[in-house]
Amino acid sequence: MSSYLGGGVLLYVRELVDWDRYFRLRKGEDVDVEAEKAALVGVLETAAGICAEIEVDARRGWEQAARLEDGRVLYPDHIQAGYDKLREAGLVSLGVEEQYGGFGLPALVTNLVIQMVARADASLMTIVGLQTGVAEDIQQYASEELKQQYLPRFASGEVMGAMDLTESQAGSDLGGITTRATEEGGRFFLEGEKIFITNGGCEVHLVLARDDDTFDASKGTTNGLSLYLCPRTLPDGTPNGVCVARLEHKLGIHGSPTATVTFERAEAWAVGKKGDGFKAMLSLMNNARLGVAAQGIGISEAALAAALRYARERVQFGKPIGDQPLMKNLLARMVLALEGSRALLYRACVLVDRNRAIRVHLASHPDLNAAERADLDDLYHKNETRYRLLTPLAKYLATEHSDFITRAAIQVHGGLGFMAESEVGKLHQDSIITTIYEGTSEIQVSFALKEIGKGALQVVFEEIGKELEGLSDPPLQEYADKVRHGIERILDASSALMADFDYALLSARSLADIVIDVIVGAELLKQANVDSRRFDLAASWINRRMLDVEATAQRIKEGTTARIDRAERILALVD
Ligand SMILES: Cc1cc2nc3c(=O)[nH]c(=O)nc-3n(C[C@H](O)[C@H](O)[C@H](O)COP(=O)(O)OP(=O)(O)OC[C@H]3O[C@@H](n4cnc5c(N)ncnc54)[C@H](O)[C@@H]3O)c2cc1C
């Protein structure tokens, strides 16, 4: 079996997802669930084989950057070759529905493929990830005409996509956007400049712009923003007013072009309702956040594999360094961090998939009786609440862990890890950006806090509580009780916290950490329930993390906004 499919990937797909319910809701009662599952595993095996090939050239060509020549972006050889391989296998726009030429694959499988691509080549992943994300946003929000025009071209890999949000004055705060969309006789034209646009030389741009008629009234807010599809080439074949003005030099992901893109009277087509652009973009960003979490996991897998290999080979003090207790502990912590990230991301993806299946079922069964419809509606809204909390948490966890795992992999390699040619050094440089783009870690935990403020914890914990009740065998039950205790402590602390939003913001990261601790603890116990070899993983996570939950919950509960003043006094000590 390819190492790309190790570490619980197939365990999830084969044992931990209720595919029966998913496929029956999506495809009807007559569906052959086993055949559908086998097809999903087949996709993953194909992707694993291709990614193992891509990895070889990606490591050799890591330093090669995209170039700008006569306004065209030229990809490094390993990026172009990798993209072509994935494209030939039909693996570039996995979520596009069958009717538009795609496979309509579940988010879990799409993200597993993205994770494998990232493990092979973190730069290539940015291109494939956007390809999938932009296509899915068009699928969800664009008119039927735009879908027919673009989705088959996305599915075949003929066109690529970019997401154009950031401007020099509008980074984390998209309320600062000033790119202007003007309507003239039912046609829209864009004027402005976007910076840091990944794959900015591509054909299809999804641009967040401020509408001219409400420009001044909405300035500084996310109201009055609309989403536009802006192609480089107009339908009649003439060039549109979209230009790549420059490419950035970066610390990592060199093969991923990061562009300044200018729009000069560029014609664009509205995607979704006017003024609802921020909402539509949030859906694209949520998909992209899951994708970046998958990227963090892929990079972590590569670093961990290299660290384990080296720890077994390198002998010091008469034995392999991996046999030294301190090193063993570090390597075990790296595995725990990786498996924790995986558990949270896959849980979030499964929730997204459940809702997509419910949506298809409700749309294709207008005759459903009122009680059944109400039950599914209720489940849909609860799942939505759950993944709106889990998505930022998954992005935050997987990318921060990627930072830790890749840095720890350098430590395992000692002096060799710091050499310019070090593989793990390059992986670390690639991993840094994951905690910044698609919303920084600070923005992810602030988003999570907002969801908690709306009552998401109760809805998430209600489901976890039921899952823990199902774990009644003695060794699992003991650990399930510890997680349940952690949940009680968090609920107690969070209700105190929410009374003061400034203090809540100060504590957002600590709260996110302990919420993650219990969700992952429960998820790892579920894994141990179907595969007893994973019991030690769950036990180790819970033993370590529930102590943190206890202490952090206590500290959050006892704190006040006085801590902000204290932080200011500490900062004042620095001249
Ligand atoms: C390689 C690369 C690729 C990118 N690709 C794209 C792309 O394809 N499309 C696109 O639109 N953008 C893209 N970006 C932009 C990226 O999304 C932004 O850089 C990111 O959102 C942060 O914005 P900023 O750089 O302006 O930082 P700022 O918003 O200025 O933030 C600086 C620091 O302040 C913190 N901060 C800001 N506000 C708060 C707050 N309210 N609470 C706590 N802390 C806060 C941040 O967490 C960060 O640590 C890319 C960036 C890079 C570097």
pLDDT of residue 256: 98
Name the residue with the closest Cα to ligand 1, atom 38: 172
Sign for the CA dihedral angle at 326, 122, 133, 108 comes to negative
Cβ of residue 123 lying under 6 Å from some atom of ligand 1: no
Average pLDDT of every residue of the chain: 95
- pLDDT single digits (tens) 552-568: 999 999 888 888 899 99
Confidence check: pLDDT of 1 > 80: no
The CA 437 to ligand 1 mean position distance, Å, reads 6
Name the residue with the closest Cα to ligand 1, atom 26: 171
574: phi then psi, degrees, rounded to nearest 5: -95, 125
pLDDT of residue 500: 83
Name the residue with the closest Cα to ligand 1, atom 30: 171
Encoded amino acid at 400, one letter: E
Instruction: Report the alpha-carbon distance of residue 535 to residue 518 in Å, rounded.
Output: 16
- pLDDT single digits (tens) 481-512: 999 999 999 999 998 788 888 889 999 999 99
Cβ count within 10 A of residue 48: 21
pLDDT of residue 327: 98
Cβ of residue 196 lying under 6 Å from some atom of ligand 1: yes
- Contacts (Cβ under 8 Å, ≥6 apart) of 236: none
**3 or 439, higher pLDDT:** 439
Average pLDDT, integer, range 458-474: 94
Confidence check: pLDDT of 71 > 60: yes
Average pLDDT, integer, range 439-450: 97
Quickly state the pLDDT bin for 280 (edges 50, 70, 90): confident
User: Which atom of ligand 1 has the smallest separation from the CA of 200?
Assistant: 8
Cβ of residue 437 lying under 6 Å from some atom of ligand 1: yes
Confidence check: pLDDT of 317 > 70: yes
Average pLDDT, integer, range 53-72: 95
Name the residue with the closest Cα to ligand 1, atom 29: 172
Residue the block writes with tokens 């795992």: 405
- Residue 142 is encoded by which pair of tokens? 């664009």
195: phi then psi, degrees, rounded to nearest 5: -120, 165
- Residue 481 is encoded by which pair of tokens? 């009780």
Give me the domains of the chain, ranges plus CATH numbers: 455-572 (1.20.140)
Quickly state the pLDDT bin for 294 (edges 50, 70, 90): very high
Quickly state the pLDDT bin for 3 (edges 50, 70, 90): confident
Name the residue with the closest Cα to ligand 1, atom 16: 437
- pLDDT single digits (tens) 6-38: 767 888 898 899 999 999 999 999 999 999 999
User: Which atom of ligand 1 has the smallest separation from the CA of 440?
Assistant: 47
Q: Helices (H) and strands (E) in the chain — how many of each? A: 19, 11
Encoded amino acid at 151, one letter: L
Average pLDDT, integer, range 277-304: 93
The CA 438 to ligand 1 mean position distance, Å, reads 7
Instruction: Report the alpha-carbon distance of residue 347 to residue 358 in Å, rounded.
Output: 17
- Contacts (Cβ under 8 Å, ≥6 apart) of 128: 83, 86, 91, 92, 114, 117
Cα dihedral 102, 108, 110, 115 in deg (nearest 10): -170
